[in-house]
């Protein structure tokens, strides 16, 4: 599965587990308006680290939090593993 599809399916899993209604997953979706809260994002990042072997949020030197879904996917796609 591609990185993009992995991320999208994990977002849907986490939202279902956490009983959150999420907005349609488009690249320009603002994460803060996605329907996921910070615990959901924390769980998502942990799951993606397990699946993709990368945690770009911890690995990056500067504190950089993506604002849109497209940025989030880009961060993982360009992350060294």
Partner 1 sequence: MNTARAETPSLRVLVASRPGLRVLAPGAALRGRDIGASTIFASRRRELAGKSVLIGARSQFVAARALIELDGLAARLVICPPDFSPGRLASVISQAEVDAIVSDAADKDFGVEREIYLCGDPVPIDEEDCFTRLASQWVLPTSGTTGAPKLVAHRLEGLLGAIRPACEPIPVWATFYDIRRYGGLQIFLRACVTGAQLLLSDARESLGDYMIRCAKADVTHISGTPSHWRQLLMSPDAELIDPKYVRLSGEIADRAILDALRAVYPRAVISHAYASTEAGVGFEVADGREGFPTALLDANGEVELRLRDGSLHVRSKRTATAYIGQGGLKLLDDEGFVDTDDVVEQKGDRCFFKGRRAGVINVGGLKVHPEEVEQVINEHSEVRMSRVSARRSPIMGDLIIAEVAPRNVATPREAGALETEILDLCRARLPRHMVPVTIRFVPAIDILASGKLARRHA
Q: Alpha helices, DSSP H only, in the chain?
A: 3-17, 38-52, 56-59, 69-77
80 in contact with partner 1 (CB under 8 A): no
61 in contact with partner 1 (CB under 8 A): no
The least CB distance from residue 66 to partner 1, in Å, is: 12
Helix (H) or strand (E) holding 65: none
| Interface residue with partner 1, options 18, 68, 70, 74 (CB under 8 A) | 18
Q: Which residues bind partner 1 (CB under 8 A)?
A: 17-18, 38-39, 41-43, 45-47, 50, 55, 57-58
């Amino acid at each position: 599965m591609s990185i993009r599809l992995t991320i999208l399916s994990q977002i849907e899993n986490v939202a279902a587990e956490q009983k959150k209604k999420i907005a349609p997953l488009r690249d320009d979706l603002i994460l803060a308006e996605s329907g996921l809260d910070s615990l959901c994002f924390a769980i998502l990042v942990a799951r993606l680290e397990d699946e993709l072997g990368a945690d770009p949020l911890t690995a990056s030197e500067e504190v950089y939090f993506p604002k849109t879904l497209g940025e989030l996917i880009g961060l993982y796609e360009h992350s060294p593993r």
